[in-house]
Amino acid sequence: MAQARGHNIVYAAPGFSELQSIELIWANVKGTVGRAYTSDTTFQDVYKRLDNAFYHLDSATIKATIDNSTAKLIALEKALRQAEEAAAMVSIASGLSDGDSDTSSSCDESSAGSSDGGYSDASDVEDHPY
């Protein structure tokens, strides 16, 4: 329904609440309300304290939380890109070292061209990305 109305839906990875500003704001509010809890606290008291905590939540706290989450997200993206680049370099280096070997083909000469194990031509081999 949301996509039909032109909205893009993005899901956050579980376990990364520090990247979700709203989660951090909600934790702040819950902490404020929770610290006021006593054994005599009623649901009405909790409702009033929640309302009060949200009312007193200032924009500077919200902005700082968003900025902090954004900085962590940028740092995570940078680390992921560096890891991907390092993995690509290892893959390239591995491919180069494999191509330098002087080993012979793994195809047994006695089965080449035979109907019981060798390939007669390249059309028998499927193209694979790996």
Residue 42 lies in a domain: yes
Longest Cα–Cα distance of the chain, Å, equals 89
- In a domain, residue 60? The reply is yes
68-97 tens-digit pLDDT? 999 999 999 999 999 999 998 888 888 777
Is residue 28, in this structure, part of any structural domain at all? yes
- In this prediction, residue 128 carries a pLDDT of 38
Phi-psi region of 38 (alpha: psi -120 to 50; beta: other; left: phi over 0): beta
pLDDT tens per residue, range 96-120: 776 555 554 444 444 444 444 443 4
Residue 59 has pLDDT above 80, yes or no: yes
pLDDT at site 68: 95
pLDDT tier at 41 (50, 70, 90 boundaries)? very high
- Alpha helix locations (H) across 36-58? 43-55
Q: Which two structure tokens, joined as six digits, stand for 83?
A: 């890891």
- Tally of domains within the chain: 1
Give a yes or no: residue 98 inside a domain: no
Residue-range definition of the domain harbouring residue 22? 16-93
Decide if 33 is inside a domain. Answer: yes
